[in-house]
Amino acid sequence: MATIDNITTSQIPANVGIGSKYFNPKLVKGALIVPKGTIITTANLSTLQTVLQGLAQNDTKDARLYPIANFVDFKDNSEKPVTQSFGYGAEVTVRDGIQKWAFQFIKGGKNLNDALRTFNGDLWDFFFVDQKNVLFGKTCSTGIQAIPSIEIYTDPLILNDGKKIAEYVINFKFDPKYLNEEGAFIADADFDILDTIFGLQDLVLTGVLSGTAKTLNLTVKSIMGQNIGALYTSGTTGLGNKAVWTCVDDGGASVTISTMTWNSLGYFVAVCTTGYPISGKVHFNLVGPTALAAAGVAGFESAGEVAITAV
């Protein structure tokens, strides 16, 4: 079971003897963006992978964990310690400088960059994960807490100029005490955090009436146009399972989907019965990411419903 190690000390001055185990952060390879005040409790440690996976596919966006992996470069733009000089020549340090860490990523490109820009501001906190699979945050009485952010900011893309590839950079600003006097870490997770905890991908739904009454053809694609439906065609699990679909009329009343079958031409055929409207539209959508994962379609979320004129 994973354990939480604190690197704080209540002794002033603290002892400086060096043991065989100490915290020495390696290259930071990724981060977990989480809601403000998120805590991994000591009770979570026995099922840490399940807990993080559950957070990453939470049906409520504002309660979700958003992982970023594969950082390829780091620039420390931190503020220098603020000092005051006196007329007699003395100088004192007023405060520590604010930490400003910038990480470049490549994988995900502009799609990921645009998504990360929706987190710009101070409404989210974060954990860091280094190349040794160490997760670090700040101490708290019940576990390890995400580092409180001053700001998360993802830059606009810097275009490929023929000498450099397009650049995508995310910045984290925070008080240095959270990784110094109040730092904590998990160094013994028995799974690779950044290789097993994935963010969700949006699924774009489209649909048209077929030539048969109460029968509609539905396509499921990625935002880049890949036909995702072709990868999950089973009728018992996957998108071929009618239970992962919802269907309502304009007023929100349920429309029964009697069958959902895959057509090799690249779409699902939905046959509706009870509740099918005689006018207006039918609105199809997918269930939330938790239910999709339980049906064998893990890592996805509908980008929104598709409304199809009923007649």
Percent of the chain predicted with pLDDT > 90:
86
Q: Is residue 57 part of a domain?
A: yes
Same domain, 137 and 76: yes
Same domain, 237 and 270: yes
Same domain, 213 and 187: no
What per-residue confidence (pLDDT) applies to 236?
A: 79
Mean pLDDT of 159-183: 93
Q: Residue 226: give its domain's CATH number.
A: 2.60.40.1220
Mean pLDDT of 239-257: 96
- 267-272 sheet: strands from edge to edge: 257-263, 267-272, 215-222, 201-209, 300-302
Helix (H, G, I), strand (E, B) or coil at 236: coil
What per-residue confidence (pLDDT) applies to 58?
A: 96
Percent of the chain predicted with pLDDT > 70:
99
Kindly tell me the sign of the dihedral angle through the C-alpha atoms of 192, 195, 199, 204: negative
Read off the pTM. Answer: 0.91
At 85-122, the pLDDT tens digits run 999 999 999 999 999 999 999 999 999 999 999 999 99
The Cα 138–Cα 37 span in angstroms is 11
At 123-140, the pLDDT tens digits run 999 999 999 999 999 999
Last residue of a domain, one of 145, 161, 196: 196
What per-residue confidence (pLDDT) applies to 48?
A: 97
Mean pLDDT of 161-185: 94
Helix (H, G, I), strand (E, B) or coil at 148: coil
Domain span at 267: 201-309
Q: Is residue 148 part of a domain?
A: yes
For residue 81, what are the CA distances in angstroms to 93, 94, 180, 299? Answer: 7, 8, 14, 43
Question: For residue 205, what are the β-bridge partners?
Answer: 220
* Residue of 169, 65, 164 whose CA lies nearest to 113: 169
Mean pLDDT of 5-24: 77
Q: Is residue 262 part of a domain?
A: yes
Same domain, 189 and 205: no
Is the pLDDT at 9 greater than 90, yes or no? no
C-alpha of 108 from chain center: 13
Number of domains in the chain: 2
Same domain, 206 and 188: no
Last residue of a domain, one of 196, 230, 253: 196
